[in-house]
Amino acid sequence: MHLNDNTLFRQQNLIAGGWIDADDGAAIDVDNPSTLSVVGTVPNCGEAETLRAIAAAEACFSNFKKTTAAQRGALLEKWFDLIMAAQDDLATIMTLEQGKPLAEAKGEIAYAASFVKWFSEEGKRVYGETIPSPVQDRRIIVQKQAIGVCAIITPWNFPAAMITRKIAPALAAGCPVVIKPSEFTPFTALALGVLAERAGFPKGAINIVTGDPSGVGGALTQSTAVRKLSFTGSTRVGKLLMEQCAGTMKRLSLELGGNAPFIIFDDADLDLAVEGVMASKFRNGGQTCVCANRIFIQAGVYDAFAEKLAAVVGKMKLGDGFENGVEIGPMINQAAIAKIKSHLEDATAKGGRVIVGGEQQDESTRFISPAVVTGVTSDMIVAGEETFGPVAPLFRFETEEEVLTAANATPFGLAAYFYTNDLTRTFRVSEELETGMIGINVGGFATEVAPFGGIKESGLGREGAHHGIDEYLEVKTLHIGGIA
Ligand SMILES: NC(=O)c1ccc[n+]([C@@H]2O[C@H](COP(=O)([O-])OP(=O)(O)OC[C@H]3O[C@@H](n4cnc5c(N)ncnc54)[C@H](O)[C@@H]3O)[C@@H](O)[C@H]2O)c1
Ligand SMILES: O=C[C@H](O)CS(=O)(=O)O
């Protein structure tokens, strides 16, 4: 690994401003999904270390909450500058442990940093209210205050942005955090922790614990000192954590799984729609919560679109994320490969046809070529499960009513996309789609300025925008009497 600053690569955890190993010295290997070699190890921490991290955050909170929004904003601004100055190193670490093409990793670092920049300012706009009193000698004031210690649990697919999208608003609000990153991509989180320390955040404001997910997670969810859990990951784990938090009534933010429909009406610009599918479906090798998981094409343009898409997908370059021009890197692990192959096998067994890709040159690797499948129907697994890989399943539909029913026939409701040039249809379809976010003639919308989140079993709450900081604030109403 070549880094300009080797101190960014940390194989320890950050607790109370100190870098530590697991109490028993146990460690977890982290591999490079492209070469399968070991990138490094991180501590296999458990309950004891996690409780110390929570105690450090709790000790920090009493003073940190008294700092001003401007002081916390200045720390976030400094952190932003340090992240962007280390963009190349952070991207190298990310591609090593997650596998995404280096250009995408650099893009994610800038995206992650944008949340830090955004919330360095947003903290200064946490306004309260005065309310006209119904009683003559009384005054009513509404304040917003930091919730307190927040537990942050994040996934491997966007190992930087999923952390900053949570901890930037938390820190801006005055909340110390205890982060459990994914065991597949801990080094990106730890490098961000190094830079946060350099930015000047006080000891205990940011703690990062790696290890057994259920052990660390159990300590976080059972602790009464932890007042909030913000989780990004699968719906399965999200539901488990929701149950675990019930005993201590924690505030919850849940960013969970998706099953995005991508609808192409017959009046759409097909070349634009192909660009949109490429942007949505194949970003991060399809390992993206908002990626198109089901592509619906109106019958009149189905064959033309399928041909156009297959021609582009067939030219995509598959390989190691550090190789120039690579567009699809390795999948994160063998389980991901197995899931993708099971979806392809099920689709073909039920009448679908893989018209391009879907092959593994070497079954011992985690590379699989991007695929387009035609003749896909609602009885196939791809219709109901998040593939989380480079597979574009093409469904055919006849009418708007039929496709809206099909699009909404899922417990998920994170993102949706549709392409049309019909203005009235734009409003009709937008209002009927059961999702938190919709791309209309666009295939990607990752931005810090707009609220991000889903409905149904895709989650609770919103991240980014001005909405994102409310997730880390409590509303307190003061009723002041005796004012003659
Ligand atoms: N909605 C969003 O913004 C968003 C963003 C990224 C990923 N995701 C979703 O995340 C999933 C992919 O990420 P993943 O494979 O890391 O998800 P995952 O749910 O397997 O793991 C996510 C995190 O939870 C931890 N975890 C797992 N079991 C746990 C337990 N019992 N207690 C505490 N923590 C536990 C993991 O270690 C990891 O840090 C996909 O479903 C994707 O759609 C959603
Ligand atoms: O995978 C989920 C991420 O939230 C996708 S995005 O980068 O925020 O669009």
CA dihedral defined by 247, 250, 252, 257, rounded to 10 degrees? -30
> Using CA positions, which residue lies closest to atom 38 of ligand 1?
182
ipTM: 0.97
> Per-residue pLDDT for 465 more than 90?
yes
Tell whether ligand 2 has an atom less than 6 A from the beta carbon of residue 280: no
Taking CA atoms only, the protein residue closest to ligand 1 atom 33 is 217
State which of 234, 240, 250 you would mutate to test the pocket of ligand 1, scoring each by most atoms of that ligand within 8 A of its C-beta. Answer: 234
User: How far is residue 237's CA from residue 217's CA, in Å, rounded to a whole number?
Assistant: 11
- Distance, in Å, from the CA atom of 455 to the CA atom of 194, rounded to the nearest integer, reads 35
Q: End-to-end distance of the chain based on CA atoms, in angstroms?
A: 71
Specify the ligand 2 atom closest to the Cα of 255: 4
Q: Strand, helix or coil at 33?
A: coil
How large is the average pLDDT for residues 437-466?
98
- Predicted TM-score (pTM) of the model is 0.98
The model's pLDDT over 354-371, given as tens digits with 9 standing for 90+, comes to 999 999 989 999 999 999
User: Which residue, by CA, sits nearest to atom 4 of ligand 2?
Assistant: 289
| CA 137 vs CA 112, 133, 140: distances in Å | 49, 8, 10
Check if 156 has its Cβ closer than 6 Å to any atom of ligand 2. no
Binding site membership of 157 for ligand 2 (Cβ less than 6 Å): yes
Catalytic member of 49, 122, 197, 255: 255
Q: Decide whether any atom of ligand 2 lies within 6 Å of the 442 Cβ.
A: no
Cα 308 from chain centroid (whole Å): 30
Axis-axis angle for helices 186-199, 69-85 (nearest 10): 130
Using left for φ > 0, alpha for ψ between -120 and 50, and beta otherwise, residue 60 falls in: alpha
Taking only the tens place, the pLDDT of each residue in 128-183 is: 999 999 999 999 999 999 999 999 999 999 999 999 999 999 999 999 999 999 99
CA–CA separation, 6 and 29 (whole Å)? 19
Ligand 2 geometric centre to CA of 446 (Å): 7
> Does the CB atom of residue 291 touch ligand 2 within 6 A?
no
pLDDT of residue 347: 98
| Whether the Cβ atoms of residue 419 and residue 444 lie closer than 8 Å to each other | no
Q: How far is the CA of 289 from the centre of ligand 2 (A)?
A: 6
195 lines ligand 2 (CB under 6 A): no
User: Using 50, 70 and 90 to split pLDDT, how confident is the model at 42?
Assistant: very high
With a cut of 90, say whether residue 1 has pLDDT above it.
no
Residues lining ligand 1, CB < 6 A? 153-158, 162, 180, 182-183, 213-214, 217, 232-234, 237, 240-241, 255-258, 289, 386, 388, 414, 454, 459
For ligand 2, the distance from its centroid to the CA atom of residue 39, given in whole angstroms, is 25
Distance 466 CA to ligand 2 centre (A): 18
Counting atoms of ligand 2 from 1, which one is nearest the CA of 445?
9
Q: Which residue CA neighbors atom 12 of ligand 1 most closely?
A: 233
Q: How far away, in angstroms, is 274 Cα from ligand 2 center?
A: 20
| Atom number in ligand 2 closest to CA 446 | 9
Using alpha carbons, select from 107, 89, 116, 105 the residue that is nearest to residue 9: 89
Q: What's the pLDDT score for residue 361?
A: 87
DSSP strand pairing (455-456 vs 412-413): antiparallel
Give the pLDDT score at 204.
98
Q: What is the mean pLDDT of the chain?
A: 98
In this predicted structure, what is the pLDDT of residue 446? 95
Query: Would you say how long the chain is, in residues?
Result: 484
pLDDT at 460 over 90: yes
CA of 173 to the centre of ligand 1 (A): 25
* High-pLDDT (> 90) share of the chain, %: 99
In 207-327, alpha helices (H): 213-222, 235-246, 270-281, 302-313
> Among residues of the chain, what percentage have pLDDT more than 70?
100
pLDDT band for 484, please (50, 70, 90 cuts): confident
Q: Residue 158's Cα: distance from chain center in Å? A: 6
Say yes or no: CB of residue 289 within 6 Å of ligand 2. Answer: yes
Structure tokens at 4: 């300009």
**CB count in 10 Å sphere of residue 185:** 27
How far, in Å, CA of 465 to CA of 452, rounded?
8
Predicted pLDDT of residue 116: 99
Q: Which atom number of ligand 1 is nearest to the Cα of residue 458? A: 1
The rounded distance, in Å, linking the Cα atoms of 402 and 251 is: 38
- Kindly tell me the sign of the dihedral angle through the C-alpha atoms of 90, 92, 93, 99: positive
pLDDT band at 314 (very low <50, low <70, confident <90, very high): very high
Cα gap 177→189, rounded to integer Å: 13
Residue 185 has pLDDT above 90, yes or no: yes
Per-residue pLDDT, 338: 97
